Amino acid sequence: MTDAPPVDRRMLEALVCPLTEGPLHYDAERAELHSKGARLAFPIRDGIPIMLVSEARSLD
């Protein structure tokens, strides 16, 4: 996603999974934050992480 706004790395380091409270891993190519514990990917839209389980996609 070359047109995506930059994401603040310090903000990403402070975020945790809303389900497991575990760490998130940034996938810059897909503009997502991955929670391995919850097996969910949270989207980043316009530089803003959407940390709602209802908006996350399942990681298979």
What is the residue type of 41?
Answer: A
Supply the pTM of this predicted model: 0.87
Q: What pLDDT, in 10s, does the model give residues 1-44?
A: 456 677 888 888 899 999 999 999 999 999 999 999 999 999 99
Q: Which domains does the chain have, with CATH numbers?
A: 9-58 (2.20.25.10)
Angstrom distance (rounded) from CA 58 to CA 55: 10
* Cα of 34 vs its chain's centroid, Å: 5
